[in-house]
Amino acid sequence: MDTLLNVPKSNTLLPALPNEVLIKIFSYLSHTGIQQIKLVCKNWYHLTHVPELKYKSKLVITKENIQDIYDFMESHKFHLEYLIYACVEVNEYRLDSLDFQFLVKILRKLGAHILKLKLRHQSTLSSINDYLPNLKELNLSLLLPEIRMCLDNLVNFSKFQSVESLLMPSVRSHPLLYKLLCSANAPFTHLKKLSVSISDEGLPVIFLETYASVLRWLKIKGGNRYDEVGEWDSQSLEVFTKYLQLEVLIITDSFFSGYNFLEIILTNLPQENRLKTIHLEERCDAELLELVIRKWSSSLEYLHWSGGGLYEDLSKQLSMLSGKLRYLCLVHTLGLTLDGIAPEKNTILTGLKLERICDRSHQDRLYLLLQRLPNLTALNLIFSGLKPDDRTLGYIFEHLVHLRILLLNRCCCESLGPKFTTNNLKRLHALVSCYCPIVAFSNFNSQFGELSKLGLLSCSREERRLASAPEQSREDFPALEQLSLNGFSMSKSQEIRKNFPRLNEEFVYFGLMGAFVENIWENYLFRYDLRE
């Protein structure tokens, strides 16, 4: 069958690309895309099984499918390659004793091939302790508290010599787990990435100190304390003076961990750490930003900053990072002017997210800001409070040609709708907006050939524009995998849904735009290694 219907026929054969190039190309495909290219030829089928691409797919084991997985494993013992995944996640919330036996047998059989594992029960991990020789990432962040802990459930962490990434639950819910780690005499000889949580008892200081000299990536989730940082806190936080190789620092939910919690950590952390990423949430004042700029402006590439106060000099402070940052996220930063983000043309910044910065003066400056950021690959304004007008929409679709992720609030216009003449965003991977730009482009051939995720918001022009929504929308999005609709009545949602008959119902969402947007943005950060 000729699958190249739009390619002129010729006797000239295209040169075969090296496998390394094909793997690089395939790495940009989604899980669905990888499943499809397996059908092209034997060589491509085998290429999809290289580790770089196996990470794109994940085996999720649940109560609903565990029996089927076990039956397949038992009846197809010579075809286990269909069950081999580098990433495995187990949702063992409601497993009974028989299901648990199936689970252990499955994981023991597949364990040698598992590189990334996410579990909910410590008893599961202890049962497969000896069957994960190549494990690189162990995610225990959602581990459930054990009702009764017995010796049989204890984990021997010395078995995980190859683990490079460890994501831990809170100290309070799993104190014994942390004690086991601290008593294991540094079992993770290759550890580079660590995520821990703070409890009322404080930081797992001994554990943090053990790996201070080797960690490159550290995430700390704040606790639930309402008082200021106490004496034990200050002493505990001195552990950060021993860190010298950190490149990524993420601190979340720190609001209740004491007002000066962030300040003490950033003050103690030596400047010798070449921090590329700083992701801070809650209670970040102007003095803290000044400290960050003074110590790490020469190395910083990614900055997520949550304010909450008035920044009189914020624009001036940000200008000191202009031309250095690849990614910038600003949340609830009063006193910000959009001119401060890019006082002049900035070709370095490729990712921009603004959230809760709504100010009437910002609306008129958005157009100018985007003119100064020609190389944006990802733009997230959906929760910023900014509503793009037709001039801004037209500029985005015509001039920001590198965009792959575009998340916009519904438009602010009451007129019939924008009249665009050019769409240079045909390589978008994800789009969230109102229906207006899509309808505007429907009058001429403007296919979004690579768009896999589409979110549609209702707007003030919905009544007039939706009625004229073209049936050829199904042809405009040939690669669409997920659709999310928000703000439409059920009848209108069903009307839009009919324009995408090939879309699986499992990937159509109604009224879940927040989670849909978060998933898109997290995948973007992961794909472009902005927090890795």
In a domain, 34, yes or no: no
| pLDDT attached to residue 85 | 87
In a domain, 140, yes or no: no
| pLDDT attached to residue 446 | 62
CATH number at residue 491: 3.80.10
Eight-class DSSP state of 264 = H
* Phi, psi dihedral angles at 25 (to 5 degrees): -65, -45
In a domain, 155, yes or no: no
In a domain, 92, yes or no: no
**In terms of residue numbers, what domain contains 414?**
391-531
Residue 262 class from Cβ within 10 Å (0-12 exposed, 13-18 middle, 19+ buried)? buried
| Contacts of 412-419 spanning 24+ positions with Cβ under 8 A | 412/363, 412/387, 412/388, 413/389, 413/460, 413/461, 414/460, 414/461, 415/390, 415/461, 416/461, 416/464, 416/465, 417/390, 417/461, 417/464, 417/465, 418/390, 418/393, 418/394, 419/390
| Contact in structure between 174 and 145 (CB atoms under 8 Å) | yes
* CB neighbours of residue 468 within 10 Å: 11
Q: How many structural domains does the chain have?
A: 1
User: What is the distance in angstroms between the CA of the first residue and the CA of the last residue of the chain?
Assistant: 43
* CB neighbours of residue 489 within 10 Å: 10
- The two three-digit tokens of residue 527, written as one number: 């794909």
Listed in order, strand segments (DSSP E) in 401-529 are 405-407, 430-434, 453-457, 482-486, 508-510
Model pLDDT for residues 105-127, shown as the tens digit of each residue: 999 999 999 999 999 988 899 89
Residue ranges for the chain with pLDDT beneath 50: 1-7, 226-232, 256, 416, 467-468, 470, 472
In a domain, 413, yes or no: yes
Amino acid at 154: L
| pLDDT attached to residue 278 | 95
Q: Report d(CA 387, CA 384) in Å as an integer.
A: 8
Model pLDDT for residues 271-300, shown as the tens digit of each residue: 999 999 999 887 677 788 889 999 999 999
- The two three-digit tokens of residue 76, written as one number: 């197809």
| Contact in structure between 418 and 389 (CB atoms under 8 Å) | no
Q: What is the DSSP string of 395-438?
A: HHHHH-TT-SEEE-PPP---SS---------TT-SEEEEESHHH
| pLDDT attached to residue 155 | 82
Closest to 473 measured CA to CA, from 445, 492, 434: 445
- The two three-digit tokens of residue 463, written as one number: 């009544």
In a domain, 179, yes or no: no
Closest to 302 measured CA to CA, from 370, 392, 378, 242: 378
Q: Report d(CA 81, CA 196) in Å as an integer.
A: 34
Eight-class DSSP state of 260 = T
Q: Report d(CA 323, CA 521) in Å as an integer.
A: 23
Q: Report d(CA 393, CA 424) in Å as an integer.
A: 12
Q: Report d(CA 181, CA 385) in Å as an integer.
A: 45
- Residue located via tokens 């950590």: 265
| pLDDT attached to residue 341 | 85
In a domain, 503, yes or no: yes
| Contact in structure between 294 and 320 (CB atoms under 8 Å) | no
In a domain, 256, yes or no: no
